[in-house]
Structure 1
Amino acid sequence: MTPEDWIAHDPDPVTAAELAALDAVELAARFSRPLTFGTAGLRGPVRGGPDAMNLAVARRVTWALAQVLTDRGLGGSPVVVGRDARHGSAQFGEATAEVFAAQGFSVITWEHPVPTPVVAFAVRQSGAAAGVQITASHNPPVDNGYKVYLDGGLQIVSPVDREIEAAIALAPPADQIPRLAVQPADDALVEAYLARVATLRRTAQGRLRVALTAMHGVGGELAVRVLGAAGFDDVHTVTSQFAPDPDFPTVPFPNPEEPGAADALLELAKQVGADIAVALDPDADRCAVGIPVGDRWRMLSGDETGWLLGDYILSTLPPGRAATSVVASSVVSSQLLAKIAADHGARHVETLTGFKWLARADAGLGAQSLVYAYEEAIGHCVDPAAVRDKDGIGAAVLICDLVTSFIAQGDSIPAALDRLALRHGVYTTAAVSRRVADPAEAAAMMARLHTTPPTELAGFAVHATQQGDAVFLTGGDQQSWVRVVVRPSGTEPKVKCYTEVRQKVGADLADARRGAAAVQDRLLESIRTW
């Protein structure tokens, strides 16, 4: 479709006028790289053209997805459509629901925004053929996206993504795609999600004071309700970040991992004397955790939270269940979960990056079933039987349960991390991101690493391997081991370097930690010279 044809058939007069006002160079650029499915679906800036999120793209992608489902014999099946509160989400969500309806599908949708894990749950719970969530998760305010689930509430993988993209190329002009009004559903599935997540507590009883931020997203109200239903009713929220706001005014990047993003949360936790601090990202599928250490607070890394939750889930399984249980982490996450799993007699599976792979970690393993999966980017799947995706609200319930259990025993998260280090060695992780202007710059950077990888890092000779779009660099000696995984981000204009150091522990844990930190510093210094 030529730019002129696209503009003539753009159903949104705002984006049509925007495109018509562009010069020839910018207009050609908008049409040179249509959105494609990445790690977590389609994501792009909200603006006109096929390389962005807009009403025309939402209609055409939904038409294409409907054709793929119909070709698979699923025409007329139920589908679930949800959306967050970002710019354009209400418009795109309504269009998605109405295009599905016009193609003969039975549509479950809501008048209000819902967290992403609610959509994943609803697809699985209702037996729907597919689900769509309009969201860009933790991306900057200018972005939005289109996330697709198939049966069982699992994110799509190849070849389905390529089939949808091929069908998009055949889609009619956006204003010629039929739409049919849809009656919104009641909140029965939302309430069923709440009831399910509230049951995730394992062993602990007792009170807990929680500080919580929704990061201007859609998870705040439901998270408070779920925590209350689980017995955690002493919850204090960051008022300035509680209500959904698509401009995310208090944080430049609405990502709890970004430096400074959790400052307001940690200040509140200190003021109210909280036992734990919890940050949800804007669509509430990710959860970051803050803990008190003496008279200060710090955020745990995604890996630290992953170790703690993995160990807690495995340690609270019914007797004999560990032998049939699977825990999973991705190639960019810490290697420690594998050691923890072996300790409990469970199986560990390492997958490619993204929960579309982590959620399938037990595929083909017979009676062995997934009980937990995590990725270092603060994503945790804590109840795979109900939500086969990361779930920040579910993770919040479980981390609160863990802390309540520790308090009852006179224990703490720092002490638990010390025990893991004494048993398995000190593991430290850090990530370095380099922002790029466009995918071409990321590809050029990765090509250089593929063809001429470094031979030395942090004073160690390293061995380079490749897997998919990632480069792996590993090396070490009898005392220390280092690993770097470099890959282009699937959701943001970045090339990411994930580092890990493992240090043996001798007589002094503090000394081992200092040694690991020194190696980590040298490792990061080496990476910054690339």
Structure 2
Amino acid sequence: MNPEDWIAHDPDPVTAAELAALDPGERAARFARPLTFGTAGLRGPVRGGPDSMNLAVVVRATWAVSRVLTERGLGGSTVVVGRDARHGSAQFAVAAAEVFAAQGFSVISWEHPVPTPVVAFAVRRTGAAAGVQITASHNPRTDNGYKVYFDGGLQIVSPTDREIEAAITTAPPADEIRRRPVHPDDDTLVDAYVARAATVRRGRHGHPRVALTAMHGVGGELALRALQAAGFDDVHTVASQFAPDPDFPTVAFPNPEEPGAADALLRLADEIGADIAIALDPDADRCAVGIPAAGGWRMLSGDETGWLLGDYILSTLDGADAATSVVASSVVSSQLLATIAADYGARHVVTLTGFKWLARADAELTGCSLVYAYEEAIGHCVDPAAVRDKDGISAAVLACDLVAHVAAQGISITDALDRLALRHGVHTTAALSRRVADPGEAAAMMDRLRSNPPAELAGFPVTATADGDAVFLTGGDQQTTVRVVVRPSGTEPKVKCYTEVGQAVGADLDDARRRAAAIELQLLASAQTW
């Protein structure tokens, strides 16, 4: 569709006027690269044009999803539509629900925002044919997105995403797509999600004091309810970040991983003498954990949390259950979970980046079931039977349970990490992001690395391999392993480099950690030059 026709048929007069006022060059740029399904659906800035998130894009994408479902014999089925509290989310969710309804689908939706895992749960619980969540998760405040679930609450993968994209190209003009009003549902499914999230607690040891932030997102109320239902009633919240606010006024980026984002949480944790600090991202599908340490409070990395939760879950299984249990991590996450799983006699699967793949980790393993999956970007799936996606709220419940569990043994989370290092070797991980102007710059950087990879890193010979869009550099010796994974981001304009150092532990754990940290710094310095 050319710009003039798009503007003439834009159902939102605000974005139509915006596009009409652009100079020809900027307008052409908006139409050069329509949004496509990336790691977590469609995502882009809220503004006019097919390369962005707006009413016209949502209406046409929903028409396309309806067409694909109908072509698969699922016309008239149930679909679930939810949304976060970002700018545009309410309007986009209503439009999506109304397009589905006009296409003959039965729609479950809510008048209020809900965390992303609630939609994944509702699709699975009801047997719905699909779910759509309007969210940009932890992206900048200017963004929004459109996340799609099929097949029992799993994120879509190819060829489904390509089929939807192809259907979008045949969609009618947005103002010609029929819409029918939808009456919002009650909170029965939301309440069921809360009740289920509370059940991930394994033990009944103690009542840790919890500091919690919702990061201006939509998870605060349900996280409190789930924690209380699980028996954690000593929870203190960062008041300035508790209510949903699409402007995210107290953080530069609404991502618990970003430097400074968790400062208010850690101040609260220190003031109240908390045992654990929990930060949810804005749509509450991710969970970051902070702990008290010798030098003061610190946030665990996603890998550290992944090791701890994976080890804890596997430790609660008997031998027979462990043999048919699967844990999974992504290619950019630490490799330590594989060692932990082998120690318990469980299966470990490495998948491509994103929970669209992690949630399917047991698909080819007959007689085995996924019990845990994580990725380094603080995403954790601790109850795959209920939510086949990352879920920050149930992960928060399990993290609090873990703190209570180790306290009952007279140790701390720091001690638990030391035990893992003594048992399996020291592992350090880090991530470096290099921002790029556009996908072309990212592609050029990846091409340079593929054609001329380094022969050594930190003094160790390495081998380069490519798989999909990622380049892997691996090497080491009998005492040390080094690993760097480089890939373009699927949701933001950046190239990401993930490092891991494995170091054998001799008589001195601290010395092994110092050696690993020094090597890690060399890896990161090398990554800055590619």
TM-score (norm 2): 0.99
- The answer for the alignment partner of 1:199 in structure 2 is 199
Per-residue CA distance 1:426-470 (angstroms, 9 max, x = gap)? 000000000111111111111111111122211122100000000
Distance 1:207 1:214 in 2: 21
Distance 2:488 2:142 in 1: 20
- Report the alpha carbon displacement of residue 205 of structure 1 after superposing the two structures with TM: 2.7
Moved more, 165-174 or 443-452: 443-452
Runs of 5+ in structure 1 lacking a partner? none
Q: 3-state DSSP class of the match of 1:321? A: helix
Runs of 5+ in structure 2 lacking a partner? none
Moved more, 81-90 or 319-328: 319-328
Distance 1:40 1:443 in 2: 20
- The answer for the alignment partner of 1:17 in structure 2 is 17
- The answer for the alignment partner of 1:101 in structure 2 is 101
1:65-464 residue pairs with structure 2 within 5 A?
A: 65-294=65-294, 296-464=296-464
Moved more, 86-95 or 441-450: 441-450
Q: Is the 8 A contact 1:203 1:316 kept in 2?
A: no
1:48 maps onto 2:48 in alignment: yes
Q: Is the 8 A contact 1:204 1:402 kept in 2?
A: no
Q: 3-state DSSP class of the match of 2:326? A: strand
Per-residue CA distance 1:185-236 (angstroms, 9 max, x = gap)? 1100000001111111102332110000000000001100110010001100
AA in 1 matched with 2:99: V
Distance 1:342 1:295 in 2: 33
- The ranges of structure 1 where at least 4 consecutive aligned residues each deviate by more than 3 angstroms after the TM superposition are none
CA RMSD of aligned residues (A): 0.7
Q: 3-state DSSP class of the match of 2:86? A: coil
Distance 1:373 1:442 in 2: 28
Q: Is the 8 A contact 1:35 1:52 kept in 2?
A: yes
Q: Is the 8 A contact 1:485 1:499 kept in 2?
A: yes
How many residue pairs end up in the alignment? 530
Per-residue CA distance 1:35-73 (angstroms, 9 max, x = gap)? 000000000000000000000000000000000000000
Q: Is the 8 A contact 1:10 1:175 kept in 2?
A: yes
1:39 maps onto 2:36 in alignment: no
- Report the alpha carbon displacement of residue 320 of structure 1 after superposing the two structures with TM: 2.0
Q: Is the 8 A contact 1:482 1:502 kept in 2?
A: yes
- Report the alpha carbon displacement of residue 172 of structure 1 after superposing the two structures with TM: 0.3
Distance 2:294 2:161 in 1: 49
- Report the alpha carbon displacement of residue 319 of structure 1 after superposing the two structures with TM: 4.9
Q: 3-state DSSP class of the match of 1:340? A: helix
Moved more, 312-321 or 484-493: 312-321
- The answer for the alignment partner of 1:466 in structure 2 is 466
Q: Give the % identical residues.
A: 81
Per-residue CA distance 1:276-324 (angstroms, 9 max, x = gap)? 0000000000000000013610000000000000000000124521011
- The answer for the alignment partner of 1:506 in structure 2 is 506
Q: Is the 8 A contact 2:319 2:345 kept in 1?
A: no
AA in 2 matched with 1:175: D
Distance 1:52 1:453 in 2: 35
Per-residue CA distance 1:368-400 (angstroms, 9 max, x = gap)? 100000000000000000000000000000000
Q: Is the 8 A contact 2:97 2:109 kept in 1?
A: yes
Q: 3-state DSSP class of the match of 1:207? A: coil
Q: Is the 8 A contact 2:290 2:298 kept in 1?
A: yes
Distance 1:322 1:284 in 2: 29
Distance 2:24 2:79 in 1: 40
